[in-house]
Amino acid sequence: MDTAEHIKHLVREGQLLADAAELAGSHAEVRTCPGWEVRHLLRHIGMVHRWATAFVAEGHTSYRPGGGEPDLDGAPLLDWYREGHDRLVTALTEAPDALECWTFLPAPSPLAFWARRQAHETTVHRVDAESALGLVAGRSPVGPELAADGVDELLRGFHGRATSRVRADRPGTLRVRATDTGDVWTVLLSADAPRTTRTADGPADCELTGPAEALYLSLWNRLPAGSPAVTVAGDDRLALLWRETSAVTW
């Protein structure tokens, strides 16, 4: 998936997020994020969008913290979110291919990194916003290609870092298999950070199988444990370990 495609998804997902947030209302419970209401979600994602925009538009080559969340609610908060989303899309669209700025996951280029990262940040939180409407079966779909790309970013990007909290007292192999796209990942779990390859070589202690969208949402813990959309075969200890320790926090 190239940068232009990631930006296209960012546009769509950001608009869907705003639409769902407006329909739900800022004090609706976000069912996929316990303790959050829609206003908390909008403040968070709006801040992240502005944070990402600063690196792309201003070319910062070292880490800078986010600017904090605003004390806004209701329509002003929604307007603030939409403005930040638009700024991010514009910054990515107008950025040169040779953009140089800080990143935090492997990528072909800084521009490719930020387009991909924000496409998935926004997609996952769009699912959160739609959960505030009570949408499960009727939520907007995540396309198979985007979902498989997001699984790859999560497994080989976020959990390829030494900071991953996914650690196993007893080593084990977790395989993730997308039935619709044919993508396969093998995750080696141990007392060290996970190591993921795009292979299906050798036996696996536990295998998660399902459509790419279901795997994407399950691995991001946006589907309830035991969802029939994902089949768990083998040692479910590893699936439980993932659910309990894989959360990515700001």
Residues 85 and 34 in one domain: yes
Q: Tell me which of 105, 131, 157 is where a domain ends.
A: 131
Confirm whether 137 is domain-assigned. no
Q: Answer whether residue 135 shows pLDDT above 70.
A: no
Confirm whether 87 is domain-assigned. yes
Tell me the per-residue pLDDT of 9-46, one tens digit each, with 9 for 90 and over. Answer: 999 999 999 999 999 999 999 999 999 999 999 999 99
Q: Name residue, tokens 């959990």.
A: 159
Instruction: Report how many domains make up the chain.
Output: 2
> Which CATH number does the domain housing residue 161 bear?
3.30.1050.10
Task: List the domain range (segments joined by +) for residue 155.
Answer: 144-245
Residues 236 and 163 in one domain: yes
Contact 75, 21 (CB under 8 A): no
Tell me the per-residue pLDDT of 155-200, one tens digit each, with 9 for 90 and over. Answer: 999 999 999 999 999 999 999 999 999 999 999 999 999 999 999 9
